[in-house]
Amino acid sequence: MKKKIALLLSLLAAVLFCFGLAACKQKGVTLKDFPETETQTVALGSVYELKTQAEGEDGNTYRLTFQVRTRDDAAVPVFDDRFDVTDIGGYVITYTAVTDGVTQTSVITLDVTDDTAPTISISKPENGSVGEEYTLPVITVSDLAGTSPEVTVKVYLIREGERTEITSLSERGGRYYFTPESVGTYEIEVTAVKTNGQSKTATRSFNIDEPVSEGEVFSPDVVSPESQISFVAAGGVET
C-alpha cells in the first residue's frame, strides 16, 4: 500500500513538473522593448515609423508583423513600414511576434496632439474696373484636424506703400464682393485662426482700372504717364 502511494506521488510530481515546463515553454523568449500595452503621443501631420523586428533576451532577433487601425477601428494604409498621422482621434497598433512557437502581442495606443496651422488657398483673381461690382476669387480654408477655423477676409487699396482697408466688402453665399471707387492695386488678405492658437495668413493682389468704353481698345499706355515716353529704334530719339 505504501509503495502504491509512493508511486502515485511520484507520478503526480512528474505530471506537475511537466506542466511546469510546459507553462514556462508557453511564455516564449522575452523580447526587449516589447510591452504588452503602451500609450505614446504623436503629432498630427507627422510620419510614424513602425517596428519590424525585436531583439530577444536570448540574443536573437525576431520578425514583427503589425496591424494599424484608427480608434474608430478603420484600417490604416501603411507604406514602407510607415504611415501619415492624419486622424486626430488616435490609433491602435498591434505588433505580433512568434518566439519558439509561441505568439506574443504588443498593443501600442497613439494619442495625437494638434499643433498644426490651417491651410488657405486663394484662386487667381481677375482684374476689375472702377464702379463695377468685383467678386473676390474662391477662398478655401482647410484644417488637417477637421476643425473649422475662424476666417477673416479683408481687402486693401495699396497706394504709395500705404494700405487702406475697403470697408464696403460684403459676403453673400460664401463669396465676397465690393465696388471699387479708385484705380490701383488691391490686396486680398485672408486670415484663419484655430482653437489651438495656430493661425495662417495668405494674400493675393489684383488691379482695378478705369472701365473701357464700348468700341474703345484698352491700352495700359492710356493710364500710365510713363508710357508717354517712347523711343525711335532707328535714331534713338525721344518723343
pLDDT per position as a tens digit, 120-170? 999 999 999 999 999 999 999 999 999 999 999 999 999 998 999 999 999
56 phi and psi, to 5 degrees?
A: -95, 160
| Strand, helix or coil for residue 25 | helix
- How far apart CA 134 and CA 118 sit, in angstroms, is 27
Q: What is the pLDDT of residue 103?
A: 95
- How far apart CA 42 and CA 110 sit, in angstroms, is 7
Q: Is the pLDDT of residue 20 over 70?
A: no
What single DSSP character describes residue 226? G
Q: Note whether 126 and 137 are within 8 A (CB).
A: yes
- Between 70-79, 160-169, 222-231, the lowest mean confidence (pLDDT) is in 222-231
C-alpha cell at 10: 511520484
- How far apart CA 81 and CA 40 sit, in angstroms, is 18
Q: How confident is the model at residue 233 (pLDDT cuts 50, 70, 90)?
A: very low
The mean per-residue pLDDT over the stretch 4-32 comes to: 56
What pTM was estimated for this model as a whole? Answer: 0.69
* Strand pairing class (102-113; 37-43): parallel
Residue type, 146: G
> pLDDT: is 5 or 150 the higher one?
150
Q: How confident is the model at residue 38 (pLDDT cuts 50, 70, 90)?
A: very high
pLDDT tens-digit readout, 87-131: 999 999 999 999 989 999 999 999 999 999 999 999 999 999 999
What distance lies between CA 86 and its chain's CA centroid? 6
Q: What is the pLDDT of residue 212?
A: 79
Average predicted confidence (pLDDT) for the chain: 85
- How far apart CA 49 and CA 78 sit, in angstroms, is 10
C-alpha cell at 82: 510607415
Q: What is the pLDDT of residue 8?
A: 46
